[in-house]
Amino acid sequence: MSTLRFDIILTGDNIFFENVEHRPINGFVTCRRVEAEDEETAQRTARHRVLIHWNQTLNADRKLGVPRLTVEQVLPVGRLRRWFRPAPTLDYFFYDSPELHQQHLAALLQRRR
């Protein structure tokens, strides 16, 4: 079976850290491009990579909490799209409200289409 590429957009919530605006950050939106044999494997791989990256970089001291990850969108990456749309970065778009969460999610979806 051949491998396929997918862009997986995830939301991570159940975290907590202070914000300069005195509203605690409680989540993030991020995207990962993964190669996998099927969509289910791609989702598992993306979740695993985000958790590893989160714990090794942003949460090395374990004070921010372990995010509960939700797959928001799975976008297959075709051969042409791969050349016209670069792979997503490892950026995290943090939010402190449902409105900001939706804004970040919409922006990521727009970039990936």
Q: Taking residues 28-42, what's their average pLDDT?
A: 95
- Cβ pair 35, 46 in contact under 8 A: no
pLDDT computed for residue 21 by the predictor:
73
Distance CA 59, CA 42 (A): 24
DSSP conformational letter for 63: -
The mean of the pLDDT values for the chain is: 88
Q: Rounded to 5 degrees, what are φ and ψ at 108? A: -65, -40
- Cite the DSSP H helix spans in the chain: 39-53, 79-84, 98-112
Q: Where are the domains of the chain?
A: 4-112
In this structure, the strands spanning 93-95 and 4-17 are unpaired
pLDDT computed for residue 15 by the predictor:
93
